[in-house]
Chain A
Amino acid sequence: MTAETASPPPFARWITPFAILALWWIASASGWLPSTTLGSPQDIARAWWDLIESGQFFDALLVSLRRVGLGIALGIGLAVVFGTIVGMSRWGDVLLDPPMQMLKAIPLYGVVPLFIIWFGIGESPKVILIALGVMVPLYLSLSAALRGIPRDLVEVTATLRLTRRERVRDLIVPAALPGALVGLRLSLAVAWLVLIVSETINADSGIGFIINNARNFLQIDVVVVGLLTYALLGIFTDFLVRLLERWALRWDEGPRR
Chain B
Amino acid sequence: MTTATSAEPQAPEIPPVVSLRNVTRRFGTDIVALDDVTLDIRAGERVAIIGRSGSGKTTLLRALAGLDTGIVGELRTGSRPAVVFQDPRLFPWRTVVQNVAMGLHDANGRKAAQARAVAMLAEVGLAGREDAWPRQLSGGQRQRVSLARALLREPDLLLLDEPFSALDALTRVSAHALVTELWARYRPAMLLVTHDVEESLLITDRVLVIEDGVVIHDRRLDPERSRRRDDPELVRCRTELLGLLGV
Within 8 A of B (CB), among A240-257: 251-252, 254-257
Instruction: Please determine whether A161 and B138 come into contact, CB atoms closer than 8 angstroms.
Output: no
Whether B102 pairs with A153 at a CB distance below 8 angstroms is no
Question: Interface majority SS on A: helix, strand, loop or mixed?
Answer: helix
**A215-257: which have CB < 8 Å to B?**
251-252, 254-257
A140–B201 CA distance with the chains assembled, in angstroms? 52
CA distance A174 to B67 in the complex (A): 23
Interface set, chain B 62-118, CB cutoff 8 A to A: 65-67, 81-83, 85, 87, 89, 91-94, 102-103
Q: Does A171 belong to the interface (CB within 8 Å)?
A: yes
- List which A135-168 residues lie within 8 A (CB) of chain B: 152-153, 155-163, 166
A162 touching B65, Cβ below 8 Å: no
Q: Is the CB of A162 within 8 A of B103?
A: yes
Q: Write the chain B residue with the least CB distance to A178.
A: B93
- Taking a contact as CB atoms under 8 Å apart, the answer to whether B133 and A251 are in contact is yes
**C-alpha spacing A96/B92, complex, angstroms:** 31
Q: How far is the CB of B166 from chain A (nearest CB, A)?
A: 14
Q: Are B82 and A162 in contact (CB under 8 A)?
A: no
Cβ-based interface call for B136 (8 A): yes
Rounded to whole Å, the gap between the CB of B118 and the closest CB of chain A is 18
In the complex, which range does the number of interface residues on chain B fall in? 20 to 34
The answer for the CA separation of A157 and B90 in the assembled complex, in Å, is 11
Closest to B92 in A: A251
Closest CB in chain B relative to A111 CB, distance in Å: 39
CB-based contact A251/B135 at 8 Å: yes
Given contacts A158-B66, A159-B81, A161-B103, contact A255 B91 (CB under 8 A): no
The docked-state distance in angstroms from the alpha carbon of A256 to that of B102 is 23
Q: Bound complex: CA of A171 vs CA of B92, how far in Å? A: 10
A170 adjacent to chain B (CB < 8 Å) = yes
Question: How far does the alpha carbon of A256 sit from the alpha carbon of B92 in the complex, in Å?
Answer: 12
Determine the distance from Cα of A174 to Cα of B81 in the docked complex, in whole angstroms.
26
Which residues of the partner chain B approach A174 to less than 8 Å between Cβ atoms?
Answer: 91, 93-94
B146: nearest chain-A partner, CB-CB = A156
Interface string of B107-137 (1 = CB under 8 A from A): 0000000000000000000000000011111
Bound CA span A86–B133, Å: 31
Chain B residues positioned under 8 Å from A257 (CB to CB): 135-138
Residue with the highest number of chain B CB atoms closer than 10 Å, among A156, A163, A252, A256: A156
Q: Indicate if the CB atoms of B89 and A152 lie closer than 8 Å.
A: yes
Contact between chains at A158 and B67 (CB < 8 Å): yes
A153 to B87, CA, bound (A): 11
Question: In the complex, which residues of chain A have a beta carbon less than 8 angstroms from the beta carbon of B66?
Answer: 158-159
Q: Is A252's CB under 8 angstroms from B94's CB?
A: no
Most chain A CB within a 10 A radius of its CB, from B67, B94, B102: B102
Which residues of chain B have a CB within 8 Å of any CB of chain A? 65-67, 81-83, 85, 87, 89, 91-94, 102-103, 133-138, 149, 153
Interface pairs (15), CB distance under 8 Å: A153-B91, A155-B67, A155-B85, A155-B89, A156-B83, A156-B89, A160-B102, A163-B103, A166-B102, A170-B94, A171-B91, A251-B133, A251-B135, A252-B135, A257-B135
